[in-house]
Chains A and B, each alone.
Chain A
């Protein structure tokens, strides 16, 4: 029952977010300076062929002289019929482009988060358990790694694994090998913070009276960790990774450019330059929906891990 209420609430939230994000994107795009017809013409025909004639043709073809309201209503009408429209630049259906880009982004984000978890969880736990020099070394490494811009980490990864060891491709997509370096770059950059989150939570649990009691009553270190440690420390960690996933999906433009990875961050940046409004609206909408879905999943996971957390909301 409570689950049904939650899902219903989130569905309403989803509708509100979809409308809000789409409308806000529309308003913001309209508010940007510069003539839309020229921008779209530059995106379509390239910088050598964009001229007033091309802009006039674009204006006529897309009906850009129509008022903002009529464009907005037609977008909303299309949306209610599950139609995101066509890209103003390529003419392809927005849903196809989004599917292509979002698929690649989710793959990269998923692999990056997985790697980050594989790196951060053992390191965070070890540094909390041992403390001392290990903790200090990891803190220094994490700070250093966090301070490096992500494309520098990417370039270093390319130099080591692609150029020196010749193990992996420098850039591109299409085979599993192409995923390794961008995912590793992303994983390393995320693990820099994530291992500190794990460390803090693990330290809190290791020093808690209930944990000490668990060991005093005779459980081995391993048993105490499995029965009383994992669940207690995992709620903030799961929540942290959940929030990271969504920022990663939309925020890895640098990694996507460096590795020629056709993700949504890079696609969105190009769409904004070219004022490809249907694509921007579609992408923002997908992000909004994804955000609500992931939040719901994280909430459910956290509730399952620690039902004491109170009401599902």
Chain B
């Protein structure tokens, strides 16, 4: 008995170092810092963090150009003229609680998403069912081309049944990704550990930790000190200093997010397209991109980025021209008064702009636009509020101008977002056009969801890009550039422009 006890004790001692090293520490953990909190465990609310940290996975994935790739579904087919999507699931996919992924469970999960704020909500889906061949069938009342991209969105990520309580609330994050949850403290901290039963490329690193760094200065310091290995959303002003450090590599990536002015085209001052064009011409984009965003090539007067080539007009761009802008407004009857402000029929050209402080550059850009339009004679009152004031102001018609940072890559196919922004109601879309008199664009967008002719689709997309460019329901200012610091002790980092994944399973220690 005594010997047995000694053996157990010695065995325990032998295991002790292994147990100690198995805990996450600075040496075995990739520390990630980014600006955003996660408010809930529910993927429809905060799934972006959980798919980026590769805890949860979606049925389909997308490549860097937005093309669909297999995910939990190994293959898919579109039948019945686009009204039936059949997705075949991979075999032997295990959840982190060791249960197996089944078609029924996937169908249940997608059906749950229909009633939440997920990428599937509002789509013409009539039923989602599992069949006996490990397939999920999605039936639609009308063809919907961007459905594949919606199935790659974080809000449609698949959780195990055990993740839900009886009330249908998510109480644990049990997914299928290459990492499982080791520790979670909503809304700041998530530590994940390697999942050895992962169906795909298994991770080499043992742990990764996500910590919300609210302040840009603090994130920069984390990168500088080497205490964070990957730091997203660097303050542009600090990038030159970080680039000089031998321990860091700085990666610059283009994001499909555009800084734009949303205009109420029903407002009497800006109802004419010429007025909106004049306001666009009076913005010195180059100045804003250089001085505020510290990325001169980020200046753009097109809504979608060049790499979404169907929606981008090659070689089209109009430079800052205050004189031309003033001339266009003069033709519309605006004349300068003694104080230098434009007036028409006794009314001053005065607009209220709202923006939000979630992204620090928005308030600075708003005041820059205020100053630039002042030179034209347009008085702009800037009001910094909450992001929800934009859809709310759109809905009650109180909005005049809003400075927004719109992500056209939320769903990997921009058609899905453009439909929401320009064709979701007669008025336009919460984050898109507002009271714009053009009916051709929404009609064409709606027709494109069932267009399977690639050449015709591209032709239509170009015509829409042209209409957006000429009539300016929104005035683009600059596109977004993401600067990321990566500690050189890591290799294999790559950036996903759609921000769906941090590709942690491709990282290794040098």
Interface of A toward B, CB cutoff 8 Å = 34-35, 38-39, 41-55, 57, 89-92, 100, 155, 158-159, 162-163, 166, 169-174, 257-260, 262, 266, 270, 273
- Whether the pair A260, B213 counts as a contact (CB closer than 8 A) is yes
Binds A, one of B104-112, B216-224, B322-330: B216-224
B185 interface hit (Cβ, 8 Å): yes
- Whether the pair A34, B117 counts as a contact (CB closer than 8 A) is no
Interface mask (B408-447 → A, CB under 8 Å = 1, otherwise 0): 0010000000001000000001110000000000000000
- Whether the pair B224, A163 counts as a contact (CB closer than 8 A) is yes
B236 interface hit (Cβ, 8 Å): no
B267 interface hit (Cβ, 8 Å): no
B358: nearest residue on chain A (CB-CB)? A47
B247 interface hit (Cβ, 8 Å): no
Q: Which residues of A contact B117 (CB under 8 A)?
A: 41, 44-45, 49, 53-54, 57
- Whether the pair A89, B39 counts as a contact (CB closer than 8 A) is yes
- Whether the pair A158, B185 counts as a contact (CB closer than 8 A) is no
Q: How far does the Cβ of B255 sit from chain A's closest Cβ, in whole Å? A: 12
- Whether the pair B225, A44 counts as a contact (CB closer than 8 A) is no
- Whether the pair A55, B39 counts as a contact (CB closer than 8 A) is no
C-alpha gap A90/B358 in the complex (Å): 19
Q: Which residues of B contact A171 (CB under 8 A)?
A: 211, 213, 218, 221-222
Q: How far does the Cβ of A312 sit from chain B's closest Cβ, in whole Å? A: 41
Interface of B toward A, CB cutoff 8 Å = 36-37, 39-40, 42, 44-46, 48, 116-117, 121-122, 155, 169, 185-189, 211-215, 217-218, 221-222, 224-225, 227-228, 356, 358, 385-389, 391-392, 394-395, 405, 407, 410, 420, 429-431
Q: Which residues of B contact A163 (CB under 8 A)?
A: 221, 224-225
- Whether the pair A38, B389 counts as a contact (CB closer than 8 A) is yes
Q: A55-B392, A171-B218, A262-B188 are in contact. Are A166 and B407 (CB under 8 A)?
A: no
C-alpha gap A173/B227 in the complex (Å): 13
Residue of A43, A162, A171, A270 most packed against chain B (CB within 10 A): A171
C-alpha gap A42/B185 in the complex (Å): 21
Q: Which residues of B contact A47 (CB under 8 A)?
A: 356, 358, 387, 405
B220: nearest residue on chain A (CB-CB)? A170
- Whether the pair A262, B185 counts as a contact (CB closer than 8 A) is yes
Q: A57-B116, A170-B227 are in contact. List 4 more A-B contacts (CB 8 A).
A: A55-B388, A91-B169, A171-B211, A273-B386
C-alpha gap A50/B385 in the complex (Å): 14
Q: How far does the Cβ of B482 sit from chain A's closest Cβ, in whole Å? A: 15
Q: How far does the Cβ of B262 sit from chain A's closest Cβ, in whole Å? A: 13
Q: Which residues of A contact B431 (CB under 8 A)?
A: 51
C-alpha gap A275/B356 in the complex (Å): 16
- Whether the pair A170, B218 counts as a contact (CB closer than 8 A) is yes
- Whether the pair B42, A91 counts as a contact (CB closer than 8 A) is yes
B421: nearest residue on chain A (CB-CB)? A51
- Whether the pair B218, A42 counts as a contact (CB closer than 8 A) is no
C-alpha gap A47/B45 in the complex (Å): 11
A-B contact pairs, 15 of them (CB 8 A): A34-B385, A34-B388, A41-B117, A46-B46, A48-B410, A49-B410, A52-B392, A55-B388, A55-B391, A90-B40, A91-B40, A163-B221, A173-B189, A260-B213, A270-B187
C-alpha gap A174/B31 in the complex (Å): 14
C-alpha gap A50/B391 in the complex (Å): 7
Residue of A90, A173, A273 most packed against chain B (CB within 10 A): A90
Q: Which of A54, A92, A162 contacts B221 (CB 8 A)?
A: A162
Q: How far does the Cβ of A281 sit from chain B's closest Cβ, in whole Å? A: 18
- Whether the pair B387, A162 counts as a contact (CB closer than 8 A) is no
Q: Which residues of A contact B420 (CB under 8 A)?
A: 51
C-alpha gap A197/B52 in the complex (Å): 51
- Whether the pair B122, A53 counts as a contact (CB closer than 8 A) is yes
Q: How far does the Cβ of B150 sit from chain A's closest Cβ, in whole Å? A: 13
Q: Which residues of B contact A52 (CB under 8 A)?
A: 391-392, 394-395, 430
- Whether the pair B386, A42 counts as a contact (CB closer than 8 A) is yes
Q: Which residues of B contact A35 (CB under 8 A)?
A: 388, 392
C-alpha gap A273/B214 in the complex (Å): 15
Q: How far does the Cβ of B242 sit from chain A's closest Cβ, in whole Å? A: 12
Q: How far does the Cβ of A177 sit from chain B's closest Cβ, in whole Å? A: 11
- Whether the pair B387, A50 counts as a contact (CB closer than 8 A) is yes
C-alpha gap A199/B262 in the complex (Å): 59
C-alpha gap A34/B388 in the complex (Å): 9
Q: How far does the Cβ of A102 sit from chain B's closest Cβ, in whole Å? A: 14
- Whether the pair B388, A50 counts as a contact (CB closer than 8 A) is yes
Pairs A-B, 7 closest by C-beta atoms: A38-B388, A47-B387, A42-B388, A51-B430, A38-B392, A90-B40, A257-B214
B427: nearest residue on chain A (CB-CB)? A52
Q: Which residues of B contact A174 (CB under 8 A)?
A: 189
- Whether the pair B214, A34 counts as a contact (CB closer than 8 A) is no
Q: A50-B391, A262-B188 are in contact. Are A169 and B386 (CB under 8 A)?
A: no
C-alpha gap A55/B388 in the complex (Å): 9
Q: Which residues of B contact A89 (CB under 8 A)?
A: 39-40
C-alpha gap A274/B212 in the complex (Å): 18
C-alpha gap A275/B225 in the complex (Å): 36
Q: Which residues of A contact B407 (CB under 8 A)?
A: 48
Q: Which residues of A contact B42 (CB under 8 A)?
A: 91
